[in-house]
Amino acid sequence: MMMGFSNTLPQLELLAAEGWQDYALVDSGNGQKLERFGPYRLVRPEAEAVWQPSLPPSEWKSPDAIYKPAPEENGGHWQYQRKLPERWKMSYKNLSFWVQTSASRHLGVFPEQSCQWDWADQLIRQAGGKPRILNLFGYTGLASLAAAAAGVQVTHLDASRKVIAWARENQQLSRLETSPIRWILDDAVKFVQREQRRGSQYDGIILDPPKFGRGPKGEVWEFYKFLPDLLEACRNILTPSPLFIQLTAYAVKASSVTMYYAVREMMAAFDGVTTAGEIGLIEQSAGRYLSTAIYARWKSHRLVQNTG
């Protein structure tokens, strides 16, 4: 039976990464995805790819490396078909960065996130001035660099000293050494709470929290347990007229509707609009949309319309 409150339901959107030259989702299926990172083809697990591959098996038989999941090995390992460099350079628009295989399946970039970088870039440029942006769980810094390239002051936080060093190398590679980026090694919740006590304020906040993680001093992060407190703390360090909030989540059981209502409640006191949906990639082979994450984001009504 149809429920009688359809007008109150959020309109969910599918976002797809566009504009890549150095990356492509070549094909997907049978729980895997065949990708091109620069000149190299890699195969990684992908639970969402429940369909059959579009390309013939011959296209899948000769990648440069395959990530083999193995729970007894705390995640898995890479099986190399050919020798790869320790790391190699990739670019997206005006950004350049290092990628490499590591103990995990990740390489230092989530290509689908480029649509989030572009969205924040557009809002920042439309707003003008010198807004302050906070990027929590900032990883290797690409969202921070995209924001810095748009001309803002960025505070980048992560709990890993190694990935912050990686992010700073990406800053140099992107020729953004003079951009005002503050690099912080800290626990996200503790840092935001301290910023509130210090009276610090931000015009925009980017959040990409993991399902589970640990801070630099062993602090435990659990998505469902701590996200509400983190969003409340983030609201308390916003300027009176903020520009945007961007929240992305991977590998969690929450839906984009959950994210939508969490962000809408967070920003209820401000004049703006909340949207939510899925982030994904479009195959080269068959044009299928592969969903990789969920998101919710809020933007101020005072910004120019039609920003997505």
Q: Give the pLDDT confidence score for residue 4 in this predicted structure.
A: 39
Top-level CATH class of 111-300? Answer: alpha beta
Given the structure tokens 């969690």, which residue do they identify?
252
Question: What's the pLDDT tens digit per position in 260-300?
Answer: 999 999 999 999 999 999 999 999 999 999 999 999 999 99
Helices 223-235 and 256-266: angle between axes, nearest 10 degrees: 30
Question: What's the pLDDT tens digit per position in 142-160?
Answer: 999 999 999 899 999 999 9
Q: Which residues pair with 14 in a beta bridge?
A: 278
What percentage of the chain exceeds 70 in pLDDT?
94
Q: Give the pLDDT confidence score for residue 54 in this predicted structure.
A: 97
3-state secondary structure of 154: strand
- Give the Cα-Cα-Cα angle 158, 156, 77 (nearest 5 degrees): 40
Domains 19-86 and 111-300 share a fold: no
Task: Please give the C-alpha separations between residue 42 and each of 236, 288, 290, in angstroms, as whole numbers.
Answer: 43, 19, 16
Report the sign of the C-alpha dihedral through residues 40, 41, 42, 48, in that order.
positive
**Gap between the Cα atoms of 86 and 304, Å rounded:** 44
Q: Is the pLDDT of residue 304 over 70?
A: no
**Gap between the Cα atoms of 249 and 258, Å rounded:** 11
Output the average pLDDT for the chain.
Answer: 90
**Gap between the Cα atoms of 139 and 27, Å rounded:** 26
Closest CA to 230 of 253, 256, 249: 249
The pTM (predicted TM-score) of the whole model is 0.90
Please determine, looking at this structure, whether the domain spanning 19-86 carries the CATH number 2.30.29.30: no
Is residue 223 very low, low, confident or very high in pLDDT (cuts 50, 70, 90)?
Answer: confident
Q: Is the pLDDT of residue 236 over 90?
A: yes
Instruction: Please spell the DSSP secondary structure of 234-254, one letter per residue.
Output: HHTTB-SS--EEEEEE-S-S-
Query: Where along the chain do its domains lie?
Result: 19-86, 111-300
Is residue 221 very low, low, confident or very high in pLDDT (cuts 50, 70, 90)?
Answer: low
Strand order in the sheet with 65-70: 23-29, 32-37, 40-45, 65-70, 75-80
**Gap between the Cα atoms of 198 and 172, Å rounded:** 30
Question: What's the pLDDT tens digit per position in 73-90?
Answer: 567 899 999 999 999 999
